[in-house]
Structure 1
Amino acid sequence: MSLLINFTIGFLAAFIGVIPPGLLNMYAAKISMKEGRKKGLMFSLGVCITVMVQTYIALIFARFLDMHPEYVDILQKVGLGIFICLTIYFFFIAKDNSRQMPESVEPHSKTNRFFSGMLLALLNLLPLPYWLYISITFAGFGWFSFGQLEIFSAVLASGMGTFLMLALYVWFFRKKDKPQQKMVNMNYIIGGITAVISVITFFKIFNGY
């Protein structure tokens, strides 16, 4: 049962985490528009391999923190403050700054696109603190386990969730339309995600007292 729970949390967390437009998903979309969906999917697959490695590193570190509750309490309180600030920013302060896709994408083979996805994902270090925080928070509710098989389950799910969302970007931008016609303000989506995490963390801290 713990394997399934870890897999579900890993998949949903990865899927939701890639929703906001960023360098990786918008680059995958641009490749799909310029070079076709197959190369876009190969790029996405390369990204997922790196994300899985980053997730594994984060979960190993989270397992260490889980055995030292004094550090977890501090992390949760700091995280709650950060996510509340982010929620306020994205809902009330941030303007419409819809992410634009890269202007040019030079042709590459499918193999090169796979490795370029891996390398470009290395520049994105957000999965490390993201998975650290997600796993610690859900573990506090007893919903996440740090057994070796459970960690592998979450790592596999993170790759699958990331790939699915990137594939949706690849599919959504399959036609060579003008990117501006499909750009939307994602501030409310990001703010909604941080608000949900803030509520979960608040109840976790509150129940701890």
Structure 2
Amino acid sequence: MIFFTYLFLGFIIAASGSIVPSFLNLTVVKFSLRSGRKSALYLIGGFATVLFFQANIGAYLSNILMKNSEYMTTIHKVGTGILIVLSINFFRLYFTSNKQKVKEEIDKSKAYLHGVGMSLLNTFAIPFYFTSISLLIGLKFFEYSLLNSLYFSIGSTIGSFSLYTTYAMIADKIEHKLTFVSTKIDFILGSLTGIVGISNLIYLL
């Protein structure tokens, strides 16, 4: 019963995080259209492999934080700095993306490794899992252990893989809509991280 509970929680949280338009979703759509669904699945496999470990790291960090509240201020300061840096980076991506017209072709045989590389650049994954699992721990829905973290990570991997596969399957129907949203997503993320980062900075000062 515990296995299915944590599997379900991991699936739901990962699916909700993966459904939001991002550069990973857009890459899946573009790759599926250009190289076919089979190649896109290898790409998604690379995403899911890294997300499995990111979910484990997020669970471990959330457990450490919840048990050692004295680290809260330090983590708060570090988190604030990261948010501000991320905000600057998202705005940089937004204002320079229109100039990057040339798209690099990706060899099918390198699809999996390309997926691993791109997922490692996904700076929001670990903070997302960290925040989500901390919330679950606070609500008494999650009790950390290596085994429970493993169950959760398996569920999150399945959830992410399922959502990205859905994007690959309906790529031809959502390409233009997702492309439009993706051109604005960096500005939206930059604004959100900037607001939260500045708010935290004011609070700390």
Same fold (TM over 0.5): yes
Aligned partner letter, 1:61: L
Do the aligned residues in 1 keep the contact of 2:48 with 2:157 (CA within 8 Å)?
yes
Aligned partner letter, 1:41: L
Aligned partner letter, 1:116: H
1:20 is paired with a residue of what secondary structure?
coil
1:161 is paired with a residue of what secondary structure?
helix
1:149 aligns with 2:135: no
Q: Give 1:105 shift.
A: 4.9
Q: Give 1:63 shift.
A: 1.6
Unaligned regions of 5+ residues in structure 2, if any? 80-96, 193-205
Query: How many residues align structurally?
Result: 165
- Which residue does 1:126 correspond to in 2? 124
Alignment of 1:75-86 (within 5 A): none
2:142 is paired with a residue of what secondary structure?
coil
- Which residue does 2:30 correspond to in 1? 30
Q: Give distance in 2, aligned partners of 1:5 and 1:103.
A: 45
Alignment of 1:182-201 (within 5 A): none
2:132 is paired with a residue of what secondary structure?
helix
TM-score of the two chains, using structure 2 as the length reference: 0.69
Q: Give distance in 1, aligned partners of 2:32 and 2:18.
A: 17
Alignment of 1:102-121 (within 5 A): 104-110=103-109, 112-121=110-119
> Which runs of at least 4 in structure 1 moved beyond 3 Å after TM superposition?
69-76, 102-105, 181-187
Do the aligned residues in 1 keep the contact of 2:66 with 2:134 (CA within 8 Å)?
yes
2:134 is paired with a residue of what secondary structure?
helix
Q: Give distance in 1, aligned partners of 2:138 and 2:14.
A: 19
- Which residue does 1:55 correspond to in 2? 55
Unaligned regions of 5+ residues in structure 1, if any? 80-98, 195-209
Q: Give 1:42 shift.
A: 0.6
Identity in percent? 22
Q: Give distance in 1, aligned partners of 2:128 and 2:178.
A: 27
Q: Give distance in 2, aligned partners of 1:103 and 1:166.
A: 24
Q: Give 1:3 shift.
A: 2.8
1:142 is paired with a residue of what secondary structure?
coil
Aligned partner letter, 1:60: Y
- Which residue does 1:163 correspond to in 2? 161
Do the aligned residues in 1 keep the contact of 2:35 with 2:108 (CA within 8 Å)?
no
- Which residue does 2:138 correspond to in 1? 140
TM-score of the two chains, using structure 1 as the length reference: 0.68
Q: Give 1:71 shift.
A: 4.9
- Which residue does 2:4 correspond to in 1? 4
Do the aligned residues in 1 keep the contact of 2:37 with 2:169 (CA within 8 Å)?
yes
Alpha-carbon displacement from aligned partner over 1:6-58 (angstroms, at most 9, x marks no partner): 21111111001011111111101101001100001110010110111111112
Q: Give distance in 2, aligned partners of 1:157 and 1:72.
A: 28
RMSD: 3.1
Change in 2 beyond 3 A, CA 1:124/1:25? same
Do the aligned residues in 2 keep the contact of 1:2 with 1:145 (CA within 8 Å)?
no
Higher helix share: 2
Change in 2 beyond 3 A, CA 1:52/1:61? same
Alpha-carbon displacement from aligned partner over 1:112-149 (angstroms, at most 9, x marks no partner): 10010001111112111111111111111110121111
